[in-house]
Amino acid sequence: MTFMKKLLGATTALVVGAGAAIAEPALIFDLGGKFDKSFNEMAFTGAKRWADETGNSFREIELQSEAQREQALRRFAEAGANPIVMAGFAFASALETVADEYPDTKFAIIDMVVDKPNVRSVVFNEHEGSYLVGMMAAQASKSGTVGFIGGMDIPLIRKFACGYVQGAKAVNPNATVIQNMTGTTPAAWNDPVKGSELTKAQIAQGADVVYAAAGGTGVGVLQTAADEGILSIGVDSNQNYMHPGKVLTSMMKRVDNAVYDAFTQGENLETGFNVMGLSNGGVGYAMDDNNASLVSADMQAAVDAAAAAIGAGEITVHDYMSDNSCPVE
């Protein structure tokens, strides 16, 4: 009997030991899916870059439903994954409960603040990036009217909108910015048909540059803008390639850098509040061969100057989420 116990104990120790030695980092994708050509895919790119450079592996899971959030977190924590990175603000409430249960595991949540000692909260200054593309939109616009199409109507998307309006008004104080949200349910992230109709509606109101911060709905916005001969602005990842010569630029949110950083720090992940802004390469605008002809040297110089000024703190872009209001319409 004692022998049996010892044997069992030894096996357990071996298993635990093996688990501790690997301590793979884990990445959980949100409902949008790993290859969404946007937010989640950026996260994957960052993780892959880390894996390629270090030769290590990481665990990952794509959620299929809302109910799996806690389950996925627990499973990775039980399996000894460390740190566990989750892409998406929607993990907040699940993480609130799970973080306390696994005090030795480090977590990183992107796009949301969870105040726990073992959690790193990564937030992006989307308003700063949106400010820059807003400037470019107003410069490229001939009609003086530019558009914004958001996905689901949540404060985060209003933060994009508010930064965009501020940027457009900074270039042209008389610019009109038309704002529409696709809907109030998660279906608003995947309704390209409605995105198209919203784009047509904004064109009817005179818009000639449209910025889409709307996930899969944005595919419809970019498509219709290209079909109707106006310019569009992509979001999150570089979407310039989707319609070469018709996408003015893309507001890049470097989720890949956030994941890469977290994985690199590994088990010694620095917890707390982590802001990714213009100054540390967290946001920016995309330039490549596809939009080189659309962005003049003057435009780029003006935007780069503004980016430097924001980074140095000379220009302050209002953050909608700081007080849930926007000073400009």
Partner 1 sequence: MQFFIDLLTVSDSTLRLATPLLLACLAGLFSERAGIFDIGLEGKMLAAAFFSAAVAFVSGSVFLGLLAGIAASLALSLLHGLASITFRGNQLISGVAINFLAAGMTVLVAQSWFQQGGRTPSLFGGARFESLDLPFTNALAGLPFLGPIYAELISGHSILVYLALACVPASWWVLYRTRFGLRLRAVGEAPEAVDTAGISVVGLRYSAVMICGVLCGIAGAYMATALQAGFVKDMTAGRGYIALAALIFAKWRPWYALYSCLLFGFLQALALRPDLIEKYLGFHVQVQLLDALPYVLTVIILAGFVGKAIPPRAGGEPYVKER
Report, in angstroms and rounded to the nearest whole number, the Rg of the chain calculated over CA atoms. 22
Tokens standing for residue 211: 């910025």
d(CA 132, CA 21): 45
Q: Which of 19, 23, 33, 49 binds partner 1 (CB under 8 A)?
A: 33
133 burial type by CB count under 10 A (0-12 exposed, 13-18 middle, 19+ buried): buried
Q: Which of 23, 34, 45, 264 binds partner 1 (CB under 8 A)?
A: 34
Which pairs count as long-range contacts for 99-104, CB under 8 Å and 24+ apart, including other chains? 101/74, 101/77, 102/77
CB 25 within 8 A of CB 61: no
**What's the longest Cα–Cα distance across the chain?**
86
Helix (H) or strand (E) holding 159: helix 155-171
- The answer to whether residue 219 forms part of the interface with partner 1 (CB under 8 A) is yes
Toward partner 1, which CB reaches closer, 167 or 192?
192
Q: How many residues bind partner 1 (CB under 8 A)?
A: 32
Toward partner 1, which CB reaches closer, 13 or 187?
187
Toward partner 1, which CB reaches closer, 89 or 241?
241
d(CA 265, CA 11): 30
By CB under 8 A, the residues from 145 to 184 that bind partner 1 are 178, 180-181, 183-184
**Minimum distance, C-beta of residue 305 to partner 1, in the bound complex (Å):** 34
Q: Taking contact as CB under 8 A, which single stretch among the options 5-13, 78-86, 154-162, 216-224 is the one that binds partner 1?
A: 216-224
Toward partner 1, which CB reaches closer, 224 or 257?
224
**Minimum distance, C-beta of residue 13 to partner 1, in the bound complex (Å):** 41
Beta bridge partners, 28, equal 61, 86
**Minimum distance, C-beta of residue 270 to partner 1, in the bound complex (Å):** 31
By CB under 8 A, the residues from 182 to 201 that bind partner 1 are 183-184, 187, 190-194, 196-198, 200-201
CB 16 within 8 A of CB 42: no
CB 167 within 8 A of CB 133: yes
- The answer to whether residue 206 forms part of the interface with partner 1 (CB under 8 A) is no
Toward partner 1, which CB reaches closer, 116 or 200?
200
Toward partner 1, which CB reaches closer, 31 or 307?
31
State the amino acid at position 19 in one-letter form: G
**Minimum distance, C-beta of residue 187 to partner 1, in the bound complex (Å):** 5
CB 320 within 8 A of CB 130: no
d(CA 221, CA 228): 11
- The answer to whether residue 30 forms part of the interface with partner 1 (CB under 8 A) is no
- The answer to whether residue 223 forms part of the interface with partner 1 (CB under 8 A) is yes
Tokens standing for residue 96: 């609130």
**Minimum distance, C-beta of residue 61 to partner 1, in the bound complex (Å):** 15
- The answer to whether residue 242 forms part of the interface with partner 1 (CB under 8 A) is yes
Interface positions with partner 1 (CB under 8 A): 33-37, 41, 64, 178, 180-181, 183-184, 187, 190-194, 196-198, 200-201, 204-205, 216, 219-220, 223, 227, 242-243
